[in-house]
Each structure stands twice: as C-alpha cells, then as structure tokens.
C-alpha cells in the first residue's frame, strides 16, 4: 500500500489515473494531458505500473495503459476505518449543534 500512496501523492499521476478511469489510452494520448516532456510521462507511468495501479499491453507499435482498480479498493478498505471515526465525530457534532439550536429557541 505504501507504493500506492506514493504514486497517488503526485498530481501528475493523479491526472493520468483520472484519464485512465474513463478509458484505456496510449502514452501519446496521456502525454497530451501533462505540461511535461514524454520521458517524464513515461516515468510517471512506470511508477503507476510498479504500484499496480495500471497495466500495459502492447498492441502493434502502441503501448495501451489501463487502470487496475484493485489497489484502489485495498486503499479504500483501509480508509474506511478512518471514515467511520469521522462519521461518529460528525454525528456527535450534529447532535450538539441541534441541541444548541433548540436551547436558543427556548430562551427567546
């Protein structure tokens, strides 16, 4: 999971993943999305591939990149524990805000 978090930490890699969420793409298509040279795009794609977030398939002279959702599902499961904690805290805050509103209405 550390490799996935490292890969997601970079805005350029998140841009590439967002594009691949919609459909598979070639390196050239992905390079058009970023204001960097193609070798830089290839390095970002290598990080994503090593993290397991994308897979690549050779089709004739093109390399087609596809999103692999499994590592994101693993990360989502890990984050769920934290979401649960925040849900509890936000529910408690909501209760306190509602209680304060009721008390102000009674006092006016």
What tens digit of pLDDT does each residue of 28-54 get?
999 999 999 999 999 999 999 999 999
Q: According to the model, what pLDDT value does residue 75 have?
A: 92
Confidence band (pLDDT; 50, 70, 90) for 94? confident
SS3 breakdown of the chain: % helix, strand, coil, rounded to 5? Answer: 70, 15, 20
Q: Are 17 and 53 in contact (CB under 8 A)?
A: yes
Model pLDDT, residue 71 = 95
What b/e string do you get for 60-82 counting C-beta neighbours within 10 Å, with b at 16 or more?
A: eeeeebebbeebbeeeeeeeeee
pLDDT attached to residue 32: 96
Q: What is the pLDDT of residue 89?
A: 84
Q: Over the Cα atoms of the chain, what is R_g?
A: 22
Q: What is the pTM of this model?
A: 0.77
Instruction: Say how many residues make up the chain.
Output: 108
pLDDT over 80 at 58, yes or no = yes
Quickly list DSSP for 45-94: HHHHHHTTSEEEEEETTEEEEEE--HHHHHHHHHHHHHHHHHHHHHHHHH
Q: Which residue has the tokens 């649960």?
A: 84
């Amino acid at each position: 999971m550390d490799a996935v978090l490292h890969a997601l930490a970079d805005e350029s890699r998140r841009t590439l993943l967002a594009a691949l969420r919609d459909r598979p793409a070639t390196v050239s298509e992905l390079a058009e999305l970023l204001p960097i040279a193609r070798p830089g795009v290839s390095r970002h794609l290598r990080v994503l591939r090593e993290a397991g977030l994308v897979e690549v398939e050779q089709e004739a002279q093109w390399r087609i990149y596809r999103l692999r959702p499994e590592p994101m599902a693993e990360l989502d499961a890990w984050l769920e524990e934290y979401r649960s904690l925040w849900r509890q805290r936000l529910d408690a805050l909501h209760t306190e805000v509602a209680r304060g509103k009721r008390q102000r209405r009674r006092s006016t």
